[in-house]
Structure 1
């Protein structure tokens, strides 16, 4: 099969390579991490947690799953798939990590695109939310799914050909460590008009959007920026509520703003995102 689980995991406690047995991952130092019956592994040490249950809640994950399953962000997934698969050799399996994978939508879409192309890929999805990883693992066993943090990726150095970070929290030093020389980071961020119409409803005034398009992270060379922009019409209060629940705006808006959104029966918003590609600099 052309799509396989990524295997080059590292112990989150000492960085040593992990080896998989039937029901656990273990390092040479004796640290052991059980594989849940759903197929994922928890590689986020307690001392590295900022809260008891970090990341998206069970309810937020469910909202995101419903919204993405409806295909509202499929153009983003398609553009990401084209960019991620470009330049890969069909002679050997490339490895790809989705850092902040959520419930796994974009990695599943990438796996389907790679399978259609006959491109062998070893896949890893990582998120700090156990609810997100649990949901992802239940839906697809083609990838390895890990509860972990971008601040310390449980991945062996120089083992990734592609690293995805969508609407997430990039840690460029860790990304550079995990990528092979010449490997690519694909980062998706909101553009200045992203969900503008929703923001105009829930906020009394809008702050100017910060633009990070010109920022080049240390250790990387820019390869290009693609804009994905289109109108999206949401029909029904449930779809609008799901969109709000999967964004930071749910907590940033006040009660009055959330109430205005909840009263809507339909809404057309602008999807405006930037897909930025960077190559990890060659070393030595």
Structure 2
């Protein structure tokens, strides 16, 4: 059950041809040596090197490989299994980063076809090393190089959403799993940096959904992490937007304890694409 790709130039279907993907208009995209496809044309980039840089990808990989966020993977897999699809699913991880969650899902749902994409090439390079059975793409969420109505589930973890595009590639009745920070997510980390800390605001995107998407449920994922060394603390910081706002004094203050007990709090919201009216 292959992932059906769409040409990012003319929007025709892409077919596999040796180590390339090509459409009927002869737009050709060669697979990288690592196996991924770059389906983000240079004229559609907003910057020369969009997304996470190499340093951020390496920090994220080190941190996640220690299993601190394994409860999040488990919650996603439990929810995917709860949909009760008898046939293998097609699953899309939108903004997959370096592929930690994507690979965890594929390992547990072996018969499913899984695709992960990210706008950052360093992230997809890292993801390609995790699992060769996943279709990895460099692509933008605002113009998915994927054919219509093929996915049973789209997953978005702390990433930008494009509701029309998600709806376009979802089957009727398909689900979106949206992970956002809870109000107290990483509170200990933030308290170690800032003098005044405010709870994260509620995600306003769920208040203005398009008519063809319905919010079914939300649940909170709680987990208490013990970061046992300075490297883990700094790697976690590098995964967050706070990294770009701390000064040298704040960073030193964060490194000083050498360990940190920190709460993971994420909100998992499940949306469904409505079936068309008869």
Return the TM-score normalized by structure 1. Answer: 0.93
What is the Cα deviation at residue 164 of structure 1? 0.4
Aligned partners of 1:30 and 1:14: how far apart in 2? 10
Counterpart position of 1:232: 225
Matched, 1:196 2:192: no
Separation in structure 2 between the aligned mates of residue 38 and residue 209 of structure 1, nearest angstrom? 38
Which of 117, 121, 130 is the aligned partner of 2:121? Answer: 130
Aligned 1:24-35 pairs, distance under 5 A: 24-35=20-31
Query: How many Å apart are 1:171 and its aligned residue?
Result: 0.9
Q: Does 1:84 align with 2:80?
A: yes
Cα displacement string for residues 186-240 of structure 1 (whole angstroms, at most 9, x for unaligned residues) = 0101000000111112123224421127525212111111111121110110000
Alignment partners' CA distance in 1, 2:183 and 2:62: 25
Quote how far apart the aligned CAs of 1:78 are: 0.1
| The one of 47, 50, 61 aligned to 1:54 | 50
| Over 6 Å off, 4+ runs | none
1:103 aligned residue: 98
Tell me the distance in 2 between the aligned counterparts of 1:140 and 1:198.
31
SS state of the match for residue 207, structure 2?
A: coil
CA distance in 1 between partners of 2:171 and 2:199 (Å): 37
Whole-angstrom CA distance in 2 between matches of 1:50 and 1:257? 31
Structure 1: 5+ residue stretches without partners:
none
Q: Deviations over 1:78-108 (max 9, x none)?
A: 0001112222433x33211000111111111
Decide which moves more: 132-141 or 186-195: 132-141
Provide the residue aligned with 2:261 in structure 1. Answer: 268
Aligned to 1:251: 244
Point out where structure 2 has 5 or more consecutive residues left out of the alignment.
none
Q: Given the two structures, how large is their TM-score scaled by the length of structure 2?
A: 0.95
Contact kept? 1:88, 1:94, Cα under 8 Å: no
Distance 1:264 1:152 in 2: 44
Instruction: Judge conservation of contact 1:202–1:256 (CA < 8 Å) in 2.
Output: no
**Comparing 178-187 with 215-224, which one deviates more in the overlay?**
215-224
For these two proteins, the number of residue pairs brought into alignment is: 275
Match of 2:88 among 84, 93, 112: 93
Aligned mates of 1:139, 1:73 — CA distance in 2? 16
In structure 2, what is the Cα distance between the partners aligned to 1:238 and 1:209? 25
Q: Distance in 2 between matches of 1:189 and 1:39?
A: 30
Q: Distance in 2 between matches of 1:206 and 1:277?
A: 28
Corresponding residue to 2:35 among 30, 36, 39:
39
For residue 10 of structure 2, the aligned residue among 1, 14, 32 is 14
